[in-house]
Structure 1
Amino acid sequence: MKSDRLLSILLLLQTRGPVPAPELAERLDVSVRTIYRDVEALSASGVPVYAERGRHGGIALLPGFRTDVTGLTADEARALFVLAADGAHAALGLDAAIGSALRKVMAALPPPHRPAAELTSRRILVDPERWRSGPRAGVDIAELHDAVFGDRRLLLEYRHSGTRTARTYTVDPYGLVVKAGVWYLVADREGEPRLFRADRVRRAEPTGDPVVRRPGVELAQVWEELRRQVEERQGEVALRVRVHRSRLDLFLRLNAAVLTGEPQPEGPGSGWLRAELAVDSVEWARSLLSFGPNVEVLEPPEARGVVAAHAAAVMGLYGDPVQEASAGSG
Structure 2
Amino acid sequence: MKSDRLLSILLLLQTHGQLSAADLAERLEVSARTIMRDFEALSAAGVPVYTVRGPQGGIALLPGYHTDVTGLTADESRALFVVLAGSAHADLGLGQALGSALRKVMAALPAPHQGGADLTSRRVLIDPVRWRGAPGSSDLEVFQRAVFADWRLRLRYRHGRDNRVRTYTVDPYGLVNKAGVWYLVADCEGAPQLYRVDRAQSVVVVAEPVRRRAGVELDDVWEELRRRIDDLPSLVAVTALVRDDVLALLLRVHQGELFDGPVPASRSGWSQVELRFRSVRAVEMLLAFGAGVEVLAPEEAREALAGQAKAIAELYGSQAPAGTPSR
**1:94 Cα shift?**
0.3
**Aligned twin of 1:85:** 85
Change (3 A) 1:193 1:83: farther
**Residue identity in the other structure for 1:116:** G
Q: Is the 8 A contact 1:81 1:102 kept in 2?
A: yes
Change (3 A) 1:70 1:241: closer
**Residue identity in the other structure for 1:304:** L
Q: Is the 8 A contact 1:241 1:275 kept in 2?
A: yes
**Residue identity in the other structure for 2:79:** A
**Aligned twin of 1:104:** 104
**1:276 Cα shift?**
5.9
Q: 2 CA distance for matches of 1:223 and 1:113?
A: 35
Q: 2 CA distance for matches of 1:217 and 1:230?
A: 20
1:247-266 mapped onto 2 (5 Å cutoff): 249-250=247-248, 251=250, 254-255=253-254, 257-259=256-258
Listed one character per residue, the Cα deviations across residues 89-144 of structure 1 (whole Å, up to 9, x for unaligned) are: 111000111111111112212222222222222111111111343x6264332331
Q: Is the 8 A contact 2:83 2:121 kept in 1?
A: no
Q: Is the 8 A contact 1:282 1:302 kept in 2?
A: no
Change (3 A) 1:221 1:84: same
Say if 2:300 is the partner of 1:299. yes
**1:258 Cα shift?**
3.2
1:264-283 mapped onto 2 (5 Å cutoff): 277-283=275-281
Q: Is the 8 A contact 1:74 1:113 kept in 2?
A: yes
Change (3 A) 1:234 1:152: farther
**Aligned twin of 1:206:** 205
**1:304 Cα shift?**
2.6
Unaligned segments of structure 1, at least 5 residues: 1-67
Instruction: Report the number of matched residues.
Output: 252
Change (3 A) 1:198 1:321: farther
Listed one character per residue, the Cα deviations across residues 14-56 of structure 1 (whole Å, up to 9, x for unaligned) are: xxxxxxxxxxxxxxxxxxxxxxxxxxxxxxxxxxxxxxxxxxx
Change (3 A) 1:178 1:299: same
**Aligned twin of 2:188:** 189
Change (3 A) 1:166 1:240: closer
Listed one character per residue, the Cα deviations across residues 1-25 of structure 1 (whole Å, up to 9, x for unaligned) are: xxxxxxxxxxxxxxxxxxxxxxxxx
1:318-329 mapped onto 2 (5 Å cutoff): none
Listed one character per residue, the Cα deviations across residues 65-109 of structure 1 (whole Å, up to 9, x for unaligned) are: xxx882132222222222553431111000111111111112212
Q: 2 CA distance for matches of 1:206 and 1:227?
A: 26
Change (3 A) 1:310 1:170: farther
Q: 1 CA distance for matches of 2:86 and 2:170?
A: 28
**1:173 Cα shift?**
0.7
Q: Is the 8 A contact 1:158 1:202 kept in 2?
A: yes
Change (3 A) 1:310 1:119: farther
Q: Is the 8 A contact 1:185 1:197 kept in 2?
A: yes
Change (3 A) 1:144 1:167: same
Listed one character per residue, the Cα deviations across residues 121-175 of structure 1 (whole Å, up to 9, x for unaligned) are: 2111111111343x62643323311211111221122122266663211111111
**Residue identity in the other structure for 1:292:** G
**Aligned twin of 1:178:** 177
**Aligned twin of 1:161:** 160
Q: Is the 8 A contact 1:245 1:271 kept in 2?
A: yes
Q: Is the 8 A contact 1:285 1:306 kept in 2?
A: no
Higher helix share: 1
**1:302 Cα shift?**
7.2
**1:232 Cα shift?**
2.8
Say if 2:143 is the partner of 1:144. yes
Say if 2:124 is the partner of 1:129. no
Change (3 A) 1:200 1:229: same
**Residue identity in the other structure for 1:288:** L
Q: 1 CA distance for matches of 2:151 and 2:264?
A: 51
Unaligned segments of structure 2, at least 5 residues: 1-66
Change (3 A) 1:78 1:249: farther
Give me the TM-score of the superposition, normalised by structure 1.
Answer: 0.63
1:229-244 mapped onto 2 (5 Å cutoff): 229-233=228-232, 235-236=234-235, 238=236, 240=238, 242-244=240-242
Change (3 A) 1:306 1:179: farther
User: Percent of aligned positions with the same letter in both sequences?
Assistant: 49
Higher strand share: 2
Give me the TM-score of the superposition, normalised by structure 2.
Answer: 0.64
Query: What RMSD over aligned residues (CA atoms) do the two structures have, in Å?
Result: 3.7
**1:254 Cα shift?**
4.7
